[in-house]
Structure 1
Amino acid sequence: MSIRDLVGRAVIREARPEDDVAVGDLLIEAFTSQYAKKLPDVVYTDERKRELRDVAARRKIATLLVAEVEGEIVGTVALFPPDAPGSEAWLPRAVDLRGLATAVKFHGSGLAQLLLDSAEAMARRWDVDAVCLHVRRGATGVVRMYMARGYLREPSGDLDLPSVYLEAYVMRFKETTH
């Protein structure tokens, strides 16, 4: 069976406590392997890896979705509701989308699109005005993927952190007057 056939059989659902280890491992694998190829200067510290593995803490404040294929967790994305602790959304009534990752063998298969479809549909059900997200400066392929979906660059939401510069993107569902 091809990878695309497997993606067609993917189930997107909310993460459960028993998924935490698999989701943490997936995040580490996806981020360290792919960023290492595309952005060789990026270093994932032990502290950052611990944060990525702390899926239980994220599930307390965000909705984590997983893609499951034949019983295996092969993708994930997190959606932080408006005003959630740790949210990096810079707009009022906006959700913060983070941690989109797919298993390396599923890269380019359309699995990320399924996860984003589900996360964006959830945001619409929450009746928010927008989805905000950040992309590490230099991750041009990731930027192209989001822009092809309708996300727009919004420099006012950029984050210049001590270890990384994150560029802001937004998909607006409603025009805000704030």
Structure 2
Amino acid sequence: MSTQDVAGRAVIREARPEDDAIVGELLVEAFLTQYAKKLPEVVYTEQRKRELRDVASRREVATVLVAEVDGVVAGTVALYPPGAPGSEAWLPDAADLRGLATAVRYHGSGLGRPLLDAAEALARRWGMAAVCLHVRRGAAGVAGMYMKRGYVREPSGDMDLPSVYLEAYVLRLQG
């Protein structure tokens, strides 16, 4: 299956309550699989898995988007408005992009592109000046994907948490 096939067939829409379970499992599976391969030292606690699965709470404060391929939820991303609980945006008038993930079978297929396109378009509709996000230190491939889209490293937004160091990136929106 080519990249164009999957990305071109994807339908992006806002997540609904009936999507919560599949989106939660998709996040856990994608994060565990990808980090296990690329960063074997990363361990996801049961608490973190519960947080990833709590899509209903996320939908209360953020816009959660899903990508459907052939009628099946195959990817997700969340966009938090400024000041929303859980937002990690460090700039004023900036949305916070979180939880970009695709089903493992679609990793590398380009399915993240239409999800990011939709999230960035939503931030523009909200009148945001920027989109902020964080990438786990050491996840060079993930950081590279964002940089190819125009995100730039902004160390002032880095987060040194007890269990992880997150590097900050920002996309300045035009018009």
Give the Cα–Cα distance (whole angstroms) in 1 for the partners of residues 90 and 174 of structure 2: 15
Q: Which string of whole-angstrom CA distances, capped at 9 and with x for unpartnered residues, describes residues 11-56 of structure 1?
A: 0000000000000000000000010000000000000000000000
Give the Cα–Cα distance (whole angstroms) in 2 for the partners of residues 34 and 120 of structure 1: 24
Give the Cα–Cα distance (whole angstroms) in 2 for the partners of residues 108 and 92 of structure 1: 33
**Alignment of structure 1 residues 138-153 onto 2, 5 Å:** 138-153=138-153
CA RMSD of superposed structures (Å): 1.2
The aligned amino acid for 2:99 is G
Give the Cα–Cα distance (whole angstroms) in 2 for the partners of residues 73 and 173 of structure 1: 28
Residue in structure 1 matched with residue 116 of structure 2 by the alignment? 116
Displacement of 1:7 in angstroms is 3.1
Question: Is contact 2:94–2:130 with CA below 8 Å preserved after alignment?
Answer: yes
Displacement of 1:71 in angstroms is 1.9
Asked if 1:129 is matched to 2:129, the reply is yes
Q: Which sections of structure 1, spanning at least 5 residues, go unmatched? A: none
Q: Which sections of structure 2, spanning at least 5 residues, go unmatched? A: none
Identity percentage over the alignment? 74
Displacement of 1:104 in angstroms is 1.1
The total of aligned residue pairs comes to 174
The aligned amino acid for 2:130 is A
Displacement of 1:100 in angstroms is 0.1
Residue in structure 1 matched with residue 14 of structure 2 by the alignment? 14
Question: Is contact 1:97–1:132 with CA below 8 Å preserved after alignment?
Answer: yes
The aligned amino acid for 2:54 is D
Residue in structure 2 matched with residue 46 of structure 1 by the alignment? 46
Residue in structure 1 matched with residue 97 of structure 2 by the alignment? 97
Give the Cα–Cα distance (whole angstroms) in 2 for the partners of residues 74 and 174 of structure 1: 29
Question: Is contact 1:3–1:106 with CA below 8 Å preserved after alignment?
Answer: no
Displacement of 1:174 in angstroms is 5.3
Residue in structure 2 matched with residue 159 of structure 1 by the alignment? 159
